[in-house]
Structure 1
Amino acid sequence: MAKLRNTVSDLMADKPVKFTRRPMERIHKIHTAIKSGRLPNCTTLAKELEVTPKTVQRDINFMRDSLKVPLCYNEQSHGYYYENAVDDFPEFEVGAEEMAALFLARSALESIRGTELAEKVREAFGKLTRSMSERVQLNWSDLDDAFSRKVPEVRGRDVKVFGQLAEAVVQQVEVSFHYLKLDADKAEARKVRPLHLGEVDGSWYLIGMDVDREALRTFALPRVTRLKVSGNSFERPTGFDGREHLRRSFGIWTVSGDDSLSLVQVRLKDYAARLAQERRWHPTQEVKVLNAKGTKVDVCFEAGALEEVLRWVLSFGSKAKVIGPPKLKKMVADELALMAK
């Protein structure tokens, strides 16, 4: 007897198969017909399923080659049968990891809910889950009880801005808006060629080429107002990589030029040292454990603008000591002096 199982990736990887109906539902009916012993063939099955014989043949091939069902064809009776007994229909094996992955994929939509992009992703996600065997019951309320993500809530206005900018990035068209810098009292007009949208610490940012300043700039979506999408198209800069651009920063603030990168080394102790061994704050981060108990470590990484690194260091209070660079040591000392006043 063969108890057969399949995964989502196994089914989705069979790219040549163009299913016209829910594939696993159709294959389940083929399985039931063959298991009955009445020796069905592609023609009779096609009539029952209201598809073409060619579609049934593809399903048969998939069952035999990918699901490893012991299918055989009786030349005299012109029908299919199982060479060995099959006591169960091939089903999707959804374990703890798969369930968690499905939940995270679904919850990721929360940051873009209400946008056209979110609806397209939701449709694709729905097609994926619908392609599963009906024997897999996904109760989202159960998943919500088991998992959660604590992220900043996205305001309705920011969602609309995100949707407009996402389409502008994909379509490569210029946008204009007013932007309020953190240290400014008044928003100023900007004309930007949007290149990439990135989420950092629960907030969305736009990376784009500022047309008037002829330089890359980063904009926080909550401070973007009076957004307009123009019909002016542009070509993406050759070699631009949004992920690599963000990689140069500790948070969102970036600098240009390799010479501007600094090697940051911070010594953490006690609970802070424990956290450093559990978390990754930067792509280039390396952690060196300095004692047997793991209560003292050195955290090293490369970063450009140090303002966000300063904030990170101060968050650990007396548990952090800056080893380098000297500029960061001075920034910490100056900030502590101001706080003491």
Structure 2
Amino acid sequence: MSRRTIFRDLETLRDAGIRLRYNRKAESYSMAEPVPLNVGDLSIDEATALVTLANQMGDDRHVPFFTAAGLAARKLSGSLPRKTRDQLHEVADAVTIVPQGVANLNGKRKLFGELLEARRQRRVLRMEYASLTEWETISTKLRPYQLMYCRHSWYVVGRSSIHREVRTFKLARITELEILDEEYRLPRGFSLKRYLKNAWRIVPEGNKDLQVVIRFSPLVATNVAEVEWHPTQQLALQPDGSLLFEATVSGLNEISWWILGYADQAEVLRPARLRKLVGERAANMAKIYDR
């Protein structure tokens, strides 16, 4: 092990709140005192689950801003008896979590902290946002209601002054935030579930939910059936091995991209509007490859 690696690991221990003592005669480091952490009546299974999730999801290369969870896991494991700690790490090392397609949020750590602080104090923010809807950088006052991590990145849900409604904003597209001397109240009865309604992912559209029916070919039917894609989904395997997929969704754009991911192995049966939308995008894609 290199000297640089040793000092990096020592710094990691200090960041986790572990006090270290250096013995000049032995030229070695040791814990100055046991870490004062009350772990209660955690079972080995519970402790293993916490340490495994926190350590792996706390790696900045995977899920940004979860570093604190990784530090908490080190404190937890450091407070356990050696035998229990060794058992815990042996099992935890046998589990791997691999998030995919994580958004690059370099330089956004400060913005995340400002969002949390504004939400804690119930303070309005001035936000500069590179909008893909307006195709320009917009400036709006934001009342942050909820921070949400979904699939690839962090989002903030809150009321926007220029849109005059609750919107979803992607953290990666926020260019600047300023906490204002203006307080706000959370709307009575607000919840993320109510806001999202039956959105396919994170953006509800329109006032009326739509019933979607898709036929998946036998080649991908099992793959689709193995996953709960949406809380309202209903599946029906057909005698020919294909799968009928039904769901009630608030908006069609998000689900259209999912359908296109299955290429010619998926066919929209209804509604007609979604069938037309997917068909047009598939035709445009075909034109690109016909050049």
- Under a length normalisation based on structure 2, what TM-score does the superposition of the two structures give? 0.73
Equivalent position of 2:276 in the other structure: 330
State the distance in 2 between where 1:265 and 1:229 align.
45
Counterpart for residue 88 of structure 1: none
Alpha-carbon shift at residue 185 of structure 1 (Å):
4.0
1:113 maps to 2:65: yes
Q: 1:228 aligns with which of 146, 156, 178?
A: 178
Q: Look up the match of 2:10.
A: none
**CA–CA distance in structure 2, aligned partners of residues 211 and 266 of structure 1:** 38
Alignment match of 1:265 (pick from 213, 216, 220) = 213
TM-superposed deviation, 1:265? 1.4
Q: Aligned to 2:274, what secondary structure does the other structure show? A: helix
SS at match of 2:228: coil
Contact 1:313/1:320, CA 8 A, preserved across alignment: yes
Q: 1:22 to 1:224 in 2, by over 3 A?
A: closer
Task: Supply the distance in 2 between the matched residues of 1:193 and 1:230 (Cα, whole angstroms).
Answer: 11
Whole-angstrom distance in 1 between the partners of 2:275 and 2:103: 34
Quote how far apart the aligned CAs of 1:329 are: 0.8
CA contact (8 A) 1:112 1:163 kept: no
Tell me what 2:243 maps to. 297
Q: Shift in Å at residue 170 of structure 1?
A: 2.8
Equivalent residue number for residue 260 of structure 2: 314
Rounded Cα–Cα distance in structure 2 between residues aligned with 1:287 and 1:216: 33
Write the distance in 2 (CA, Å) between the matches of 1:158 and 1:140. Answer: 32
RMSD: 3.0
Correspondence 1:68-147 to 2 at 5 A: 94-95=44-45, 99-110=48-59, 111-113=63-65, 118-119=67-68, 121=69, 124-138=72-86, 143=92, 146-147=95-96
Q: How far is the alpha carbon of 1:127 from its aligned partner?
A: 5.0
Q: Distance in 2 between matches of 1:241 and 1:217?
A: 13
Shift in alpha-carbon separation, 1:240–1:264, aligned structure 2, 3 A: same
Q: Which residue of 2 aligns with 1:29?
A: none
Instruction: Please name the residue that 1:217 is paired with.
Output: 167
Q: Which has the larger radius of gyration?
A: 1
**Counterpart residue number, 2:121:** 171
How much has 1:192 moved relative to structure 2? 0.7
Aligned length: 248
Residues 315 and 229 (structure 1), Cα distance of their counterparts in 2 relative to 1, 3 Å cut:
same
How far apart, CA to CA, are the structure 2 residues paired with 1:23 and 1:134?
A: 16
Contact 1:266 1:322 in 2 (8 A): yes
Deviates more, 1:210-219 or 1:102-111: 102-111
Structure 2: state its 5+ residue gaps.
1-34
Q: 1:150 aligns with which of 99, 105, 115?
A: 99
Uncovered stretches (5+) of structure 1, i.e. residues with no partner: 1-19, 25-61, 67-91
CA contact under 8 A between 1:249 and 1:305: conserved in structure 2?
yes
